[in-house]
Every structure is written in structure tokens, then in C-alpha cells.
């Protein structure tokens, strides 16, 4: 994998946005895999700026989001549907019918998960997948112990993830316990992957992902087996990498 270290969050956001913009310009019908969380916010702001000021056109783009909390309707302020609408989709021109986010209110999760995989496949597969990383090394909601060949399914959130995400809810007790998530295997099928991480609280997960053994203890480590993955890191997130000392 390629490791790109920048001095701050703004720089990684801008550089990652340039990769997305290049993909969309060179292939207008590109299929993007999108992530939620604090990490991609700067990247999304830059894409919005490129759309407004430089006519970056998303009218033929298709998107698939990684995950959604089970039990939260699309209009819940902490749902990932709401997050994506507020922080990206309402500011750019991806057609609504091209946007795919797992349905946290489905009455039949297994059937929904299977159909989500089928929709990704029938769109031609994900060309460019954007990822953050959890402090426990998860990608999407593939918590430690998840199979590295897993597909879209319901996952139980790890305690660490519930604690990390409690900042968005009234209390940790309000964080949903389950999520629908693309699997590690689903993610690895993307043709190109960019993972962004900033801040010291991600440094041990980043080191385990990039330099540790490939292990379900850190599901991001599976990216070592992907042929076209780049990590965009700020200096704090990169601070525990051995290669950073060389």
C-alpha cells in the first residue's frame, strides 16, 4: 500500500478530494464508495467547493455508503442517511436514484444485505472506495474479529466504537448496538481504496493496519492484500509507523 503523510488534516482532505475529482473527471459514471464519520468531512467540503467553483459534475456518478445504524430512520439526525444528505448530497448533483445507503429500518436485514451486494455488482462494482478507520482498527463497522472475507451483513458494534461514537448522541446508551455494514470482502472488491486518518488517537490503529500482521483483530490490516490502496495520514496519525522513523 501507498502511505502519504501530510502535515495536517486540511492537506489530507484536499489531496484525497483531488483523487476523487480525478476519478469523476476521467470517468463521469464512476461508482464511489462513501464513508461517514468526522474524518471525511474535509474531503466532502472540498468536493462541494470543486462542484460549485470548478463545475465538478456528479450527474452520472453512483454512490454506495458503507454502513448505517440498525433502527435509525433516514430522518434521524444521527443516521448516516441524514449525515450524507447534510454534509454532501444536498450540496452536489448526484441524482437521488443513484444514491445507495443501507436501510437501517428494513424488516428483513439478511434479504436487504443480499440485495445491497447485488446492487453494487449490477452497478459494475465500486471504482473508488473512501474509508476512515476506527480507533479499534475497524473499516466500515467491521469490528475486531470480523471475517476478512465478510460481505454486507448486520454487525454488533464493539464497546470501543460505542464509546467513540457516543459524542454524537445524548449518551453511550443511545448509540445503536447494531449496524448494517459492507463486509471486509465487499470493501476489498473495490478497484481503488483511499483510507484517511488524522489525529493521535488513530496512530496505533494505523500502525497495526499498515505494518501489523494481517489479522481480523484489526480489520483494516486486510487492506495490505489489496492491490491499489493509499493511506492519507496526518503526522499524528502516522506517528506510530515504523517507516515514519526511517
Catalytically active residues, by annotation: 67, 136, 138, 143
CB 161 within 8 A of CB 138: yes
Q: How far is the CB of 131 from ligand PGA (least distance, A)?
A: 7
| 31: contact with ligand PGA by CB under 6 A | no
Q: Give the end-to-end CA distance of the chain in Å, rounded to a whole number.
A: 17
| Complex with ligand PGA: residue 98 or 215, whichever CB lies closer | 215
Stretch that binds ligand PGA, among 5-13, 32-40, 54-62, 203-211 (CB under 6 A): 32-40
Handedness of CA 86, 201, 72, 154 (dihedral sign): positive
For ligand PGA, the binding residue among 25, 27, 29, 38 (CB under 6 A) is 38
Which H or E run contains 53?
helix 41-54
**Which of the ranges 19-27, 126-134, 170-178, 211-219 carries the binding residues for ligand PGA, by CB under 6 A?**
126-134
Contact status: 134 vs ligand PGA (CB under 6 A):
yes
Instruction: For cell 447534510, name the residue.
Output: 86
- The answer to whether residues 104 and 73 touch, using CB atoms and an 8 Å cutoff, is yes
DSSP 3-22: EEEESSHHHHHHHHHHHHHH
Position 39 contacts ligand PGA (CB under 6 A): yes
Rounded to whole angstroms, the Cα distance separating 236 from 37 reads 18
| Between 9 and 112, CB nearer to ligand PGA | 9
- Least distance from ligand PGA to the Cβ atom of residue 49, Å: 20
Give the total of residues touching ligand PGA (CB under 6 A): 6
Q: Any idea which residue has 445491497 for its cell?
A: 116
Q: Which of 9, 47, 63, 50 is nearest to 235 (CA)?
A: 9
- The answer to whether 42 contacts ligand PGA (rule: CB under 6 A) is no
Query: Cell 476478512, residue?
Result: 148
Residue with nearest beta carbon to ligand PGA: 37
Place of cell 474524518: 39
Binding segment toward ligand PGA, per CB under 6 A, in 57-65, 100-108, 130-138, 223-231: 130-138
For residue 37, state whether it binds ligand PGA (rule: CB under 6 A): yes
Min separation Cβ 198 and ligand PGA, Å? 8
Binding site residues, ligand PGA, CB under 6 A: 37-39, 132-134
Amino acid at each position: 500500500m501507498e502511505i502519504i503523510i501530510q502535515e495536517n488534516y486540511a492537506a489530507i482532505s484536499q489531496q484525497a478530494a483531488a483523487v476523487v475529482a480525478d476519478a469523476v473527471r476521467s470517468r463521469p459514471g464512476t461508482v464511489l464508495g462513501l464513508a461517514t464519520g468526522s474524518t471525511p468531512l474535509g474531503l466532502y467540503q472540498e468536493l462541494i467547493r470543486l462542484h460549485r467553483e470548478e463545475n465538478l459534475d456528479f450527474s452520472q456518478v453512483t454512490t454506495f455508503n458503507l454502513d448505517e445504524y440498525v433502527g435509525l430512520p433516514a430522518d434521524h439526525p444521527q443516521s448516516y442517511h441524514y449525515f450524507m444528505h447534510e454534509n454532501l448530497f444536498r450540496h452536489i448533483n448526484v441524482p437521488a436514484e443513484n444514491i445507495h445507503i443501507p436501510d437501517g429500518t428494513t424488516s428483513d436485514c439478511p434479504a436487504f444485505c443480499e440485495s445491497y451486494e447485488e446492487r453494487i455488482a449490477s452497478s459494475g462494482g465500486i471504482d473508488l472506495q473512501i474509508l476512515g478507520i476506527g480507533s479499534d482498527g475497524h473499516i466500515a463497522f467491521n469490528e475486531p474479529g470480523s471475517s476478512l472475507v465478510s460481505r454486507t451483513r448486520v454487525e454488533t458494534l464493539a464497546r470501543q466504537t460505542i464509546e467513540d461514537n457516543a459524542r454524537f448522541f445524548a449518551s453511550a446508551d443511545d448509540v445503536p448496538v447494531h449496524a448494517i455494514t459492507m463486509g471486509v470482502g465487499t470493501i476489498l472488491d473495490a478497484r481503488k481504496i483511499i483510507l484517511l486518518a488524522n489525529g493521535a488517537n488513530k496512530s496505533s490503529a494505523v500502525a497495526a493496519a499498515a505494518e501489523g500482521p494481517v489479522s481480523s483483530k484489526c480489520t483494516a490490516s486486510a487492506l495490505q492484500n489489496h492491490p491499489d490502496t493509499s493511506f492519507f495520514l496526518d503526522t499524528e496519525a502516522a506517528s506510530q509507523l515504523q517507516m515514519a522513523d526511517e
